[in-house]
Amino acid sequence: MRNIVLRANDGADHVISVAAASLCKTVASLLQDLEASKGEDTDPLIVPLPNVCNCTLQKVLGFCEQQRAFDELCTASPAAQQADLTRQIQAWQMEYMQVSTDELYHLVMAAHYLNVPRLLDLCTDAMAERIRGKSPAQVRECFGLKPSLSPEEEEEIRRSNLWALN
Amino acid sequence: MVSTLFGFRSPSKPAVESTGAAAESIQLTDLPDGVVGRILQLLDASALSSAEWVCKRFRTLVVEYQLWRDICYKESAECSRLSIRITHSHNGTPGKRSAAFYHLHAQLTAPWEVHNILAEAEAASSTDNVEENAANVLTTLHRFNPMLGIRTRAYWSSKGSAAEDSAEWLLLRLVHPACLVRSVAIRPFRATFQRGHPLYSSKEVRFVFSCGSRTALKDRESLLRETRVQWAGLWQGDEDSQWLQGFEVASETFTMQQKDELQVFTFKEPILCVGGLLKVELQGRVQKQEQDNAWYTCINYIGVSGKPLYGFVPCRQAQDRPSAGLCLRQVHRAEDPLVASGGLMRMAEGGLLQERLAVEEQGGNVTDSDDEADAVDAEGVPLFMWQALGDFGVAQPQAPHGPGLEVQEAPGEPQ
């Protein structure tokens, strides 16, 4: 089985299997292109990722490997155990998403860059969870945003929404 | 082998040249639009309304991705077949459009004030005698029956039919062209003046909410103008079945219980009725009349429980999606047909019927109303209306009229 080496921006290498790498759509399509042009090759493929730092890459790869393992378990286990397995996966994902806001940003960026749909879903959900139940000011504080709406614009939103309710 | 792959990019955003140090400080503002849009898409209505105020970018994305529209679609599947056009703004800008969906969502999720939103009976598949017309199902009034020489509960009766499984229908108009309907209550009629007190119910009932196509709506309105003054039941033929086709929404079929009591048929999901027309299909019959050995269907009372979507009217020029039936158009509250015509209290529960009865009475006609109808509450609304609403579980409110609802003196107040 061919291995793939992902190189983070600080030069650290991470070796993963093709199966796990196929969850990253960007790497998968790259692999496909290479195979189409060169045929079978046993050398490890090195993919430099200038946008992703070491710790984030580690985290993303942890996700890919784990999801791969879960997928294999899902196909192997009988239908009766599926519900139990789903619960396990959810518990693992919940634990996985216990990260700081800053880490979450990096994770979202990496998931978007590497195009890992499942991780992106998980991250956007976690981000949405941080917005829910908060006032605009609290959301701004949470994400470190400055109020960029000018008073006129605020007034316009208020007016159009109020007009709607009149 | 080291592949040189610096050209490889993520699908939507070009790879940003960054060093390890710069990558440490990512902000929400650095995330691509697609990702932030996805995050906002996951929010529910209350979270979205506060997210809209957070920053300019959020607001722009909410408008651009039409997130309020998506929220409306989630609220009501019917909504996805409609589109909203805005007449009141200068150009129908995206911001106003977003506000219209915001408003629609507010209307869709507003708390249910349970009102009877039935305004008038438009037509019936057949009517036996003119005194037994379809308008009688709007009210619990007792009326004088000249054939019998006594007062009976007002009811609608079909013509006699030889077939037991034949169907009848009643066409009813709701108070507002855009209504969300939760349940319909029907009371079949028991003829206490006949031997054995037969109950002229039907076997099954189904409700069709007509949205009506664009051209059909026009036909309907001209037809209605002609027939408005006439009693229901005179207007029959192919025309009506023609414009009821197309974009109608049919409920499931309910089984009628063979009892002389108000039976409430509640829909699993509230149904959005655009066009304001409701067709009650009564399938099968259970009672033959002794004298002529024919099957009849008679209905004593029908009530529709739901809420009007204030500020929205159907518009004829469906430009956005011509195949999607009727469009909703937002109007100012003052232009709302229901507000303009005097409000829910005046229109609902056969308000127009009361008006008509009053005219009959002044003309010295043989119509009579029950003594209960003399009693009028502080607002000039006859008390029997509240009794009818009581069947729905509605108490007479202490402050019955919200802002924007103007209630006129009840026209049919008998002396």
- For chain A, how many structural domains are there in total? 2
Q: Helix, strand, or coil here: A110?
A: helix
Of A103-107, B115-119, B246-250, the range with the lowest mean pLDDT is: B246-250
Report pLDDT digits (tens) over A100-120: 888 888 899 889 888 888 899
Is the model more confident about A30 or about B230?
A30
CATH of the domain at A77: 3.30.710.10
Instruction: Provide the mean pLDDT of chain B.
Output: 70
Name the strands in the sheet holding B84-86, side by side, starting at the edge strand that comes first in the sequence. Answer: B84-86, B327-330, B312-315
Amino acid at B293: N
**What's the Cα-to-Cα distance from B9 to each of A26, A48, A51, A55, rounded to whole Å?**
8, 12, 10, 21
Report pLDDT digits (tens) over A34-65: 777 765 656 677 888 887 888 888 888 889 88
Do the domains B27-109 and B115-390 sit in the same CATH topology, yes or no? no
Structural domain that includes position A103: 3-132
Q: Helix, strand, or coil here: B397?
A: coil
Report whether B374 contacts B361 (CB < 8 A).
no
The model carries a pTM of: 0.68
Q: Residue B343's pLDDT band (boundaries 50, 70, 90)?
A: confident
Instruction: Provide the mean pLDDT of chain A.
Output: 82
Closest CA of chain A from B25, distance in Å: 8
The answer to whether the Cβ–Cβ distance between B10 and A134 falls below 8 Å is no
The answer to whether the Cβ–Cβ distance between A102 and B11 falls below 8 Å is no
The answer to whether the Cβ–Cβ distance between B26 and A51 falls below 8 Å is no
Question: DSSP string of B223-267?
Answer: HHHHHTTSPTTS--SHHHHHHHSSS-EEEEEEEPPSSSS-EEEEE
Report pLDDT digits (tens) over B143-155: 777 777 888 888 9
The beta strand positions in chain A, using DSSP E, are: 3-7, 13-17, 45-48
Assess whether A17 and A62 both reside in one domain.
yes
The answer to whether the Cβ–Cβ distance between B26 and A105 falls below 8 Å is yes
Most A CBs within 10 Å, among B38, B67, B68, B84, to test the A interface = B38
Fold of B115-390: Jelly Rolls (2.60.120)
Q: Give CA B152 to chain center in angstroms.
A: 30
Residue of B5, B28, B99 with shortest CB distance to A145: B28
Closest CA of chain A from B281, distance in Å: 36
Report whether B35 contacts A124 (CB < 8 A).
yes
Assess whether A89 and A160 both reside in one domain.
no
Fold of B27-109: Monooxygenase (1.20.1280)
Q: DSSP letter at B28?
A: G
Count how many residues are written for chain B: 415
Q: How confident is the model at residue B385, as a pLDDT?
A: 38
Assess whether A33 and A65 both reside in one domain.
yes
Most A CBs within 10 Å, among B13, B27, B28, B52, to test the A interface = B28
Least CA distance to A159: which residue of chain B?
A: B99
Assess whether A100 and A139 both reside in one domain.
no
How many helical (H) and strand (E) elements, i.e. helices and strands, does chain B have? Answer: 11, 17
Domains in chain B: boundaries? 27-109, 115-390
Closest CA to B203 of B280, B285, B125: B285
Most A CBs within 10 Å, among B55, B61, B88, B107, to test the A interface = B55
The answer to whether the Cβ–Cβ distance between A160 and B38 falls below 8 Å is no
Residue of A47, A108, A115 with shortest CB distance to B31: A108
Report whether B68 contacts B105 (CB < 8 A).
yes
State yes or no: pLDDT of A154 exceeds 70: yes
Assess whether A152 and A99 both reside in one domain.
no
Amino acid at B200: Y
Q: How confident is the model at residue B205, as a pLDDT?
A: 95
Question: What is the dihedral sign for C-alpha B349, B355, B358, B359?
Answer: negative
For residues B36 and A124, give the distance between their C-alpha atoms in angstroms, rounded to a whole number.
Answer: 8
Residues of B in contact with A114 (CB under 8 A): 10
The answer to whether the Cβ–Cβ distance between A132 and B106 falls below 8 Å is no
